[in-house]
A and B are shown apart, each in its own frame.
Chain A
């Protein structure tokens, strides 16, 4: 059985293709402004990588903030549902999932079966997302990776007062004018967003094991700051877990014949249905 999961996020698209339960291929690319096209292109490319043809794929499930734009998907599921499924497969002992992407930061409490029990979300506000980190990096005139690397060299804690990406940018500029070391500012940036994410996670309770996924899980500066508040696991390829979860949903859908016909844009919001 061959299935695919496509996660169309604010910044990146991720695709995971599973063949009989194992990862056949995966791919990532920038979403850009033409989201549907980006998803299509990446899907084609990933199929090629797997040596598969479109017709061989039994079911495609999309997710992500622009998941509904994937015209060729058989169904679209909520991000939280995809996250829950993906993490449950990779880390069956996980009970709390933290997902920080470009546009949203969320915390999900899951059951041993991967069912969503509670969730808290920081949405439509750049401050609790990867976009915040990007904006601060621009203000510091370096890449996100560079900013993460130098933040690890700092041993000073400066609190950031601004709780907004726009005001934060002014604050960073003002700190630069005050001749504060860039590494200390970088650390302050990561501490600030880590604090917000930890707070979102506390809303659902921090039951172990706690797993963090999403693009930000690859940011070593952010993870370093967050580890000071939360003990958590990071799976390999944390930014692919959403797509993996969508692929798992596709597999389940095929098995249970939930998705017999092509139902474009139909949303299956998990939570409340029997697992």
Chain B
């Protein structure tokens, strides 16, 4: 099950995608995130499941663009730490984060 956490407004689409079928609740991404934006908890979208999975914290969801900004997803440099440490490729940022602005 793919959960898109984030929002879309006039300035763009800013979502983190977490695939709960792939996520094994290991919590490496939670440790790796410098903004402390992630947590592992019960799967709120599958009330009959018992497997804990990772999700974006409620207080970060609606400003995720800014929360993630220091890791620069979409700039075409190294992927953000949460993506790098995940062994099951359960977490990613949507294509819409790609930056086309002037760079050095």
Contacts and interface: CB of A to CB of B under 8 A. Distances in A.
A and B touch in the complex (CB under 8 A): yes
Nearest to A163: B62
A167 to B, nearest CB: 9
A124 B63 contact: no
B11 to A, nearest CB: 5
Given A125-B11, A199-B69, A119 B101 contact: yes
B42 to A, nearest CB: 23
A117 B102 contact: yes
Q: Is the interface of B mostly helix, strand, loop or mixed?
A: loop
A49 interface: no
Given A123-B10, A124-B9, A202 B102 contact: no
B8 to A, nearest CB: 10
B11 A124 contact: yes
B11 A117 contact: no
Interface string B54-89: 000000001101100110100000000000000000
Given A163-B63, A202-B69, A203-B69, A272 B102 contact: yes
Of B11, B63, B69, B104, most A-chain CB atoms within 10 Å? B11
Given A124-B10, A124-B11, A125-B9, A199 B102 contact: no
A199 B37 CA distance: 15
Q: Is the interface of A mostly helix, strand, loop or mixed?
A: mixed
A186 interface: no
B11 A122 contact: yes
Contacts of A203: 66, 69, 72
Interface string A83-125: 0000000000000000000000000000000001111111111
B102 to A, nearest CB: 4
B38 to A, nearest CB: 18
A227 B63 CA distance: 21
A182 interface: no
Interface string A166-195: 000000000000000000000000000000
Contacts of A271: 102
B101 A200 contact: no
Contacts of B11: 121-125, 128
A97 to B, nearest CB: 14
B70 A202 contact: yes
A211 to B, nearest CB: 19
A117 B70 contact: no
Contacts of B69: 120, 199, 202-203
Contacts of B103: 117-118
Interface in A147-169: 161, 163-164
Given A118-B102, A202-B69, A272-B102, A196 B63 contact: yes
B64 to A, nearest CB: 10
A183 B104 CA distance: 43
Contacts of A127: 9
B75 to A, nearest CB: 9
Given A117-B104, A271-B102, A200 B66 contact: yes
A199 B11 CA distance: 14
A164 B10 CA distance: 11
A125 B7 CA distance: 12
Interface string B36-49: 00000000000000
Given A117-B102, A128-B11, A203-B69, 4 more contacts: A118-B103, A119-B101, A163-B63, A203-B66
Interface of B: 7, 9-11, 62-63, 65-66, 69-70, 72, 101-104
5 contacts: A118-B103, A123-B11, A161-B62, A203-B69, A271-B102
